[in-house]
Amino acid sequence: MSKLRGARRSWGLVAGVLLAIGLLVGLGTTALISDVHAADSAKAVHSADRLALQQTLGGLGGQYLSLTLAELYSEGESNTWALTPGSPADHRLLATYVGTSPLTNAGAAILTLSGQPLNATTAPGTELPPQSDPGFAPLRAALAAGKPGLSSLLHAGDQLLVGMAVPITANGKPVAVLVGYANARTWALQQYVQGLHVADGADNYVVDTNGTIVAGPSAARVGQKIPGMKGAPGGTAPALFHVGDATLSSAPVGVGGWDSLTSQPTALYDGQAASGAARAHMLLLAALLLGVAAMIAAGAIRQKALHRAADQALSDALTGLPTRRLLDARLQASLARATRTGTSVVVVYGDLDGFKAVNDAYGHRRGDALLKEVARRLELAVRAEDLVVRLGGDEFVILAEGVTGMEQVQELTDRIVESIAEPVRLDRAVVSVGISLGAVITRRGTPSVLLEAADAAMYDAKKSGRGPVIRPLGVLDRLGEARLPDGAAGLRAT
């Protein structure tokens, strides 16, 4: 079923791309027909060309924003969210999304339906705007109306951001809100608008509901107003008007109440009326815009595919915990930091006691539910910065770094044992399992040696049945030159 849902989402993205390209072709065709029928008046033709072109520009801007919202919606629907304050699993999902999204890569957050923050992450050097920012007003209004939300320009320190929001649903009902943020000075919409050339002396803009520039001829213009304009055009159709000594054309973007505008000195605008050059510009630009739209869509689909592939490689399909592949990378980095800081790395190897009996008695479905609950309890029992990994079956590994003494290890293993020992309700049945733990603490070594030593300590704990076995690595600190022999001296937790 998950493959079928993934295929449906992929086809949904492809269908959205085809719809965007079809819309642009239709807009270009409409512009060309308008040009032919207005041939009796050079100025009327020029004005019709400019309005049709502006409608095309507005349509492309709307498609870009729609693609961004579609990516955000796919992210919200394709993941299993804990939706608890500060959840490490949710934070990892948000960080992966921000690190791979080509569209909203400034930050992301999860909020309750009442607007209370549950989790958030940002790109390096970025901070998120406060919820009191008035730019959130149109976003909240759209969500309240059951639509995806788009903010006006938001302020976070000296940064200017744009927020986009979609609901996270469960059983068809909204349960939380996923918000993605883009840096208005560097996002793809700014790069696209900055690269446009409509006519001599013309500047192109996208403005929010307040008439504030969210994309313009240069990044320095973002956050300002168009000279002479006091607010946004606010119309529902393309329009042509004059502001001071400039002629402006506007068209609604179709998302969030934003508008696309082109400003040109009136003398230059009127001088082009009889030349017919605007027609050539429009047709050439329409062709270029089709290519840009296809490239943006293809890039978004490719990034989504890479994101899913990375998730499958680094996340356990049943519990959502990281896998051995991520553990090896994190453990190598942790050992390097321990050498620099003089602190220690702890590897805890755990194997459930009594899981096979529960699985045999109640079936694999309830056994899987038990493993999910164990994974959840392990993540709650450790610190937010610790890593919980499922190796397979009922075996788990916890990686903790920055440890300064054996007491911390003892406290960690005690919390894990107490948490797992609590009874678990599986439908109408209540079951209990335990966990045998073996831990090693060291400052040097290799991932394979540490895991082997922790596994050996866990095996001794399971045989003795007297609680976790914690060992400070001795000779094994020297990069695995020796292996712990059977019965090697260790510190047994009581």
Catalytic residues: 394
d(CA 378, CA 437): 12
The structure tokens listed for 470 are 């914690």
The distance of Cα 40 from the centroid of its chain, to the nearest Å, equals: 53
d(CA 476, CA 478): 5
Are the beta carbons of 85 and 278 closer than 8 angstroms?
no
Neighbours of 409 (CB within 10 A): 23
d(CA 351, CA 434): 9
Are the beta carbons of 490 and 457 closer than 8 angstroms?
yes
